A = this chain, B = another copy of it.
Amino acid sequence: MPKSPAFRRAQASDLPAIIALLADDILGQQREDASSPPNRKYVEAFQAIDSDPTQLQVVATQGDGVIGTLQLSFIPALARQGAWRGQIEGVRTAAAHSGSGLGQQMFEWAIAQCRARGCNLVQLTTDRERPDAHRFYEKLGFAGSHIGYKLAL
């Protein structure tokens, strides 16, 4: 039996493994830079996330390996009577763990973090080109009630 995954706040030493996960993806391979040592832009972004108490970069680990990642943002807002929102971005799991239930365990852990921080809404967007992801989120109870718009600057 493989060991169960564990979940924790990412450390700077996890950055190469996180970048590798971001780059090993049908959309990510076109827009990420998996060179080593990590591109300075990733290092600076990690520092910005790590020093912000409303941001949490998460890694899933098994033994010494990083097998998944996601970013949680805790966002205060006035709408819905001042509800805090938990936002999930950049969800990736290692290809070797596809279909293992890892994604669901990561989400259950992330949603528990949102509850613990007093959020009463969890939100995310996913590319229209990821139909497997749509089924996954719907199975977890998410409603695809919104359209996500992006504008590149």
Main secondary structure of the interface of A (DSSP, over half): mixed
The docked-state distance in angstroms from the alpha carbon of A148 to that of B143 is: 8
Q: Could you tell me if B146 and A80 are in contact, using CB atoms closer than 8 angstroms?
A: no
Chain A interface extent, by class: 35 or more
Instruction: Give the interface of A toward B (CB within 8 A).
Output: 18-19, 22, 28, 31-33, 39, 41-46, 48-49, 52, 54-55, 57, 71, 73, 75-84, 87, 89-90, 111, 114-115, 119-128, 134, 137-138, 140-153
Q: How distant is A40 from chain B, measured CB to nearest CB, in Å?
A: 8
Residues of chain B within 8 A (CB-CB) of A114 are 153
* A153:B119 contact, CB within 8 angstroms: yes
